[in-house]
Structure 1
């Protein structure tokens, strides 16, 4: 069948090949077509090459395109761009850059379509060095004023956490669109500079640029982490005024924002209004309920999640155990953790799950159970785990467990003076003054000193802030 089609006159071959590609569903069939392309010397045809790359991508055979590409001495820039675009979505490291290097060595001049997909691949792998090299190529070839290239460059710098470079490029842009602003906001969010992210979001409004869904998802994440409830509510109102439907991503971002800002009832309202939900949506709701210390409600929704056929993941179980923790539901937490140990959920508990259980036991005063779990866990206990045992021991007046946990924290972070101070205070409460002196000598030998206590007072609005230090 395939050989017969190549026997037809040349002017009909292209259409027949395209028809074959559109009906190609197996690797065997694909490689047969590939062989005929090479035999008939048709792989340099841009239309055929485009469909060949698309077919290889859909079948997961992108490596085959490199074999064909290597046989072309000077492929058309359109073919190069199509290859770079395909590999930029494949998450195969640095292949787009290799294609670009081949272009450069063979004097194939890139165009403004080359750089956005090439820079996307560098963003995915956070390759700052190569991004800066490409930046110089962009300037040299005269594409720096292309807004799509500028946005892609900004994304490279933002994804690498270099917000100074990202902001400088942003400020130099002669025009900015919604993507430009969104990259800036997302970059500030990812490095934890939430105040700068909110300022950028407000500046975007003043500039008259209408945000899109991606902008709002990132802005809501900033509001969630910064506690900016008022801005989060404004975004929700904007979504309603604009008539946007609540898809999974946007709805989940709203639930997460309301949960972290202490307004879980509004989050529940959003959850109920969503037609489609996924495990991330359920996780946002359960975590929000846990933060609100509504342990029973969190467990109820967790059970409903399972009843509706959603499979909990590791984050779900952390949220549920935290809910038990905050509400003192020891029996429920034990039952859920036991099911996790038994493999009910298809994965083994991580150190975070053990940390939740230790904290649950310690808060409830079940210090023996907490210590036994720490002793038997298949991981080295973390700082958070020993910290939970220390806090629970101090709250219950069990100074022996507290002493043990404090020394473990000293072992984990010998340069942290706070742990020595806690240990010294424990010995003082126990009347072990010689041990108090030993801890102070140890701190002195290690060049550590107790941090000063600090408090600030602002007597009246618009007046100076006074800071007090205590030895």
Structure 2
């Protein structure tokens, strides 16, 4: 009874602890009086340390325990799984294993979360064998955690294998599978999983819909995206900032920016990502003037543009030929108006802007003077702009730069060969073709596709000599 009263008092002190000094004082008393092995006290001490950002103190207490209760180990694993030290939960689990402390089904979800955050596939598979031996494989929370860790490591084969072997699946199971395929760039598989989820009668949640919309956006699946939008309306869901932004992004990438604008106007709350999705959608729709207008409105409404915003508006300027506007925005960026320096993508937008508009000298100067190594996209923009204007000098220079960057890409040699043929420089044509033969390169077949309902038709095109 006396011990219970003391435990309650210490728990009260720990729960109301508000500083590093107090935590250390309590920790010292726990060690001196041998109370650190008390499960209730240790649990509250770890929780208090976590809330104060002092997990090292909790780990120091754990180190004093000869054979801590599994509940204490689980509490500490959970605390560290939410920290920026992802490998500590595995250390605690290894300590449990060495000291024959039997893990339970509460141990693994947070342990696997830390392995997911660190993308540690090898250790996840190691833990998987333990789960099988301990008989916790068919706990749905453990299985969902394995789905998450394999998806985070982009091992979708393993992820789907676990999914197929699950006797029961909930909305989390389906959402993790869809998210995994989406993050791995397998958008068609993500949408197929989403359709199968509907057939299984599992009701999607907001996270499911955001990931399904992202897959629609990147796969160009407009019909599915519209269906999701209708589902959101029918369900009476509030169009929060995350869901609304996903819808705008989907409509923008699927070429229906008007619907994206309607979604934008209907949203009560917006953030910089929402504005970025809208501006990027307008850029893709070649609506440069509107993109610039919305960019100006964004600033007037007090939203601070980030690096993505500037890429979007500069792309819009490029597609619409707004050279002066693009130059002014870029100079403002250089001048520090936005609080960050331009990156490679901003310079690439400017090179593309100048090249498209026929300002070839400006494009070349940008490439020559920028503080980064020129990228393939930059030389590609200069090449395209130069060929469109019949400037053989810059075309030749850019083509050779592309050959240097990607010597195994036969397409660049074909472009060079065509250029020299246009100039009547037949000896150089032979030289390029000889280089191709020496490097074992063949002229590629190009491929064009057009979607004619209900199927896609593919046409092969031989690259010109």
Asked if TM exceeds 0.5, the reply is yes
Aligned pairs, number: 463
Residue 265 (structure 2) aligned to one of 253, 272, 284: 272
1:161 matched to 2:148: no
Post-superposition CA distance 1:201-236 (Å, at most 9, x none) = 111001100111111111000000001111111111
Taking a change above 3 Å as real, the CA distance of residues 18 and 272 of structure 1, as seen in their structure-2 partners, is farther
Q: What residue number does 2:49 align with?
A: 56
Task: Give the CA RMSD over aligned residues.
Answer: 2.1
1:174 matched to 2:167: yes
Q: What residue number does 2:350 align with?
A: 357
SS in 1 for 2:310: helix
Q: What residue number does 1:397 align with?
A: 390
Give the stretch that moved more between structures: 266-275 or 388-397: 266-275
Q: Using the alignment, how far apart are the partners of 2:187 and 2:214 within structure 1?
A: 9
Q: What residue number does 1:450 align with?
A: 443
Conserved? CA contact 1:220–1:253, under 8 Å: yes
SS in 1 for 2:151: helix
1:255 matched to 2:242: no
Q: What residue number does 1:311 align with?
A: 304
Taking a change above 3 Å as real, the CA distance of residues 24 and 455 of structure 1, as seen in their structure-2 partners, is closer
Residue 88 (structure 1) aligned to one of 74, 81, 84: 81
1:341 matched to 2:334: yes
Residue 126 (structure 2) aligned to one of 118, 124, 133: 133
SS in 2 for 1:419: helix
1:429 CA drift (Å): 1.2
Q: Where do 1:344-423 residues align within 5 Å? A: 344-423=337-416
Q: Using the alignment, how far apart are the partners of 1:465 and 1:263 within structure 2?
A: 23
TM-score by length of 2: 0.95
1:15 CA drift (Å): 2.9
Taking a change above 3 Å as real, the CA distance of residues 247 and 105 of structure 1, as seen in their structure-2 partners, is same
1:16 CA drift (Å): 3.0
SS in 2 for 1:293: coil
Q: Using the alignment, how far apart are the partners of 1:394 and 1:336 within structure 2?
A: 27
1:23 CA drift (Å): 3.0
Q: Using the alignment, how far apart are the partners of 2:320 and 2:10 within structure 1?
A: 66
1:10 CA drift (Å): 4.3
Residue 11 (structure 2) aligned to one of 9, 18, 34: 18
Structure 2 residues without counterparts, runs of 5 or longer: none
1:29 CA drift (Å): 2.2
Conserved? CA contact 2:410–2:443, under 8 Å: yes
Structure 1 residues without counterparts, runs of 5 or longer: 1-7
Taking a change above 3 Å as real, the CA distance of residues 285 and 461 of structure 1, as seen in their structure-2 partners, is closer
Q: Using the alignment, how far apart are the partners of 2:452 and 2:8 within structure 1?
A: 81
Conserved? CA contact 2:445–2:460, under 8 Å: no
Conserved? CA contact 2:403–2:412, under 8 Å: yes
Post-superposition CA distance 1:111-134 (Å, at most 9, x none) = 000001111111111111111111
Give the stretch that moved more between structures: 261-270 or 141-150: 261-270
Q: Using the alignment, how far apart are the partners of 1:461 and 1:218 within structure 2?
A: 25
Q: Using the alignment, how far apart are the partners of 2:49 and 2:412 within structure 1?
A: 59
Q: Using the alignment, how far apart are the partners of 1:460 and 1:61 within structure 2?
A: 60
Conserved? CA contact 2:447–2:458, under 8 Å: no
Q: Using the alignment, how far apart are the partners of 2:449 and 2:121 within structure 1?
A: 41
Taking a change above 3 Å as real, the CA distance of residues 465 and 230 of structure 1, as seen in their structure-2 partners, is closer
1:202 matched to 2:195: yes
Q: What residue number does 1:221 align with?
A: 214
Q: Using the alignment, how far apart are the partners of 1:227 and 1:145 within structure 2?
A: 37
1:468 CA drift (Å): 5.9
